[in-house]
Each structure stands twice: as C-alpha cells, then as structure tokens.
A and B are shown apart, each in its own frame.
Chain A
Amino acid sequence: MSIDLSENLLSFAGWIRATRVSEILREQLWVVPTSQSIHIIAVSMVFVSGLILSIKLLRVGFHKRTLSSLVIRYTTLIYGGLLALLITGVIQTLAEPLRQLIAPVFWIKMSLIMLALLMTYMLSFKFSRANEQPGFTEARTAVSVIYAVLFISIWIAIIFCGRFIGYTYFYHL
C-alpha cells in the first residue's frame, strides 16, 4: 500500500486550518506579525549564542572567558530561545498551516533545528566541565574548527529556511 505523504500533509494542514483555534488566530490580524517578531527576537538570542560558541571554538575571540563558562551560559540561552521559537512557531503553524506544512523548506528547517539541537547538547555534554578536567587545554584543533564552522553554518541555514518559507508558498500559488 503506497502512502502519498504530500496528499496526507495537505489534508492535515487543511484540517488544522478549519479548526476554531486557527480561525481565531487568523481573525486577529496582529497575532501572526507579533508572533513572527517575537520569533525573530528568539532567533537573535539563539543565533548570537551559537555564533559566540563558534568564535570561541575557533579561538578567535572571547579570550578572557573559559570555554566551559561560555558553554554553560550560551547553551542555556540556546535551549531557552528554542523553547520560545517552538511556542511562536506553533502559533504561526496553527494560524497558517498551509504556508508552513506544505513547504519543503519548512521540513528542511525542522531537520536542521534537530541537528543544531544535537550539536548544542554535544557541546554542553563535552565542554561544560572541561576546564576542571586535568590536562584540558583550549588549543584550537581541526575538530573544533570543523565543529564551529558546521555549527554556525547550520544556524545561518535555519534563518534562510525560515525566511524562504513565505516565499516558497508565494511561488507555489
């Protein structure tokens, strides 16, 4: 039995759109723009935190701070920011399910967020107590450079996907 995923997604999005909650969110014209604004503020916190951690991993800045202290501080901000992104993202999806769910770039964004979350967890797992460990040095390694470049590239790609969701829908209409 074959399952047409896009067909199922379309009917699921249509079902969400027909709910009372979705209707109310659309009727209140300020909800989506306000939710998107808060979404961008949360993106800022997450992105800058990722950027600072990448800069530290590349050893090109934040020399007065230890890697452990930065990891503890900024992974916490990333988790908090992601929670705000989840809440505002759900509001936007409930209000405009067709715009979000049927855009392939939306699913690419979700996959990249999962990957970024995993990389954040790995950073906090490996480095949050690293400076207390004997023999630990903050010297730049090939692995730390690759990790930093990948980490920040994923966050940039997430922002691009987020902005392109609206345009993908527009071009499909």
Chain B
Amino acid sequence: MNLIEIAELIKDLPLATAIRTGLVWDWLFPTIEALHVVAISTVFGSIILLDLRLLGMADGPVRVSAYSSDLLPLTWTAFFFAVITGSLMFISRAPEYLVNAQFQFKMALILLAGLNMAFFHWGIFRRIKEWDLQFPPPLRARLAGGISIVFWAGIVFFGRWIGFTMM
C-alpha cells in the first residue's frame, strides 16, 4: 500500500468526510482554518520576536534568555494547536494535499526551521551566559535568527498559497 492509498483511506474517515463536506456543520472547515491562522500567527509572531532579539533588533538591554523563557511556552502551546488544526485540514483532503507542491514546500520548511532551532539550542545557546546581554549577539546567533525568519516567512507564504492551488 503506497502513501496515496493510505491518504485515500484517511480521507474516507467519518471525521475527514464531515470536515470536507460540511454536512454536519457548514462552517466546520472555515472554523478549523481560522483556528489554524490564530495558532500559526502566535507561533510565527512569537518566534519572530525572539529572532529579532537575536539579530540585535529589540527594545533595550533585555536578556536573550528572558525573551526565550517568556516566549517559548507561548510558541510551543500554539504549535501544538497548529498541528492539531493543520492535521484536521489535512485529513479532509489528504491525497490532494500530499501531491500539492506548496504543501510539500511548507512541510519541508517546517522541518528545516525545526533543525535550525535544534542547532541553535544545542549549539551557541548552551553558552548563553557568555552573550546573554551582548548587543548585537554573536554571529552564529544572528545567523540562526535570520535563517529562522526566512524559513517561517516561507512557511506562512506557502501555507497561504496552498489555498490558491488546491482545486
């Protein structure tokens, strides 16, 4: 059984059918999509604020560790909801999403953004005490922040383009 056949089975699940057809409630898909936008906005916005601090563009001498501990709980909670709402949208038309180039780019960028975040946290962030208040932060931290902004902006762009390319 290949991926498309598995996706076809997922698409036929009662929940997937209810979301796709709107037979139970007309506004189910738009509501899930709006909740997804709320979640993604929170993920993107909170990550960008930390990235801007890493790039040295922030308000005054605030510690990077303070930014991180304030914002990351928000990011992870919102990411959890983004995955739930995103999965609900995905199952409604799984085969179409799987072959959609914009969806594939979005998923690839999420993976790359995650790797960038992991490298940052297991790399230069372990020596945060040395540069917590440094303005601007070290080059590697600035690079991680800049790359993160590009990846996440790409995720938002491709996410929006999915809607224009799914027939």
Contacts and interface: CB of A to CB of B under 8 A. Distances in A.
Interface of A: 32-34, 36-37, 40-41, 43-45, 47-49, 51-52, 55, 61-62, 64-65, 69, 72-73, 156, 159-160, 162-164, 167, 171
B166 to A, nearest CB: 12
Q: Which of B37, B45, B159 has the most CB of A within 10 A?
A: B45
Given A44-B42, A47-B38, A52-B74, 8 more contacts: A43-B37, A44-B156, A48-B41, A51-B45, A61-B73, A62-B70, A159-B34, A160-B31
A124 B128 CA distance: 33
A47 B41 contact: yes
A157 to B, nearest CB: 10
Interface in B149-165: 153, 156-157, 159-161, 163-164
Contact of B60 (A48, A61, A69, A156): A69
Given A156-B38, A164-B30, A164-B34, A44 B161 contact: no
Contact of B66 (A49, A64, A162): A64
A43 B48 CA distance: 13
A29 to B, nearest CB: 8
- The 7 A-B pairs with the shortest beta carbon distances in the complex, nearest first, are A48-B45, A44-B45, A163-B34, A44-B41, A44-B44, A73-B59, A37-B160
Interface in B42-94: 42, 44-46, 48-49, 59-60, 62-63, 66, 70, 73-74
Interface of B: 26-27, 30-31, 33-34, 37-38, 40-42, 44-46, 48-49, 59-60, 62-63, 66, 70, 73-74, 153, 156-157, 159-161, 163-164
A28 B156 CA distance: 20
30 contacts: A37-B157, A37-B161, A40-B156, A40-B159, A40-B160, A41-B44, A41-B153, A41-B156, A44-B40, A44-B41, A44-B42, A44-B48, A45-B45, A47-B41, A48-B46, A48-B48, A49-B45, A51-B45, A52-B74, A61-B74, A64-B66, A65-B62, A69-B60, A159-B34, A159-B38, A159-B41, A160-B34, A163-B30, A163-B33, A171-B26
A41 B151 CA distance: 13
Nearest to B26: A171
B34 A33 contact: no
B45 A167 contact: no
B48 A45 contact: yes
Nearest to B162: A33
B38 to A, nearest CB: 5
Contacts of A49: 45
Contacts of B63: 64
A53 to B, nearest CB: 12
A40 B36 CA distance: 12
Nearest to B161: A33
A39 to B, nearest CB: 9
Contacts of A52: 74
B161 A163 contact: no
B128 to A, nearest CB: 15
A45 B60 CA distance: 19
Contacts of B41: 40, 43-44, 47-48, 159
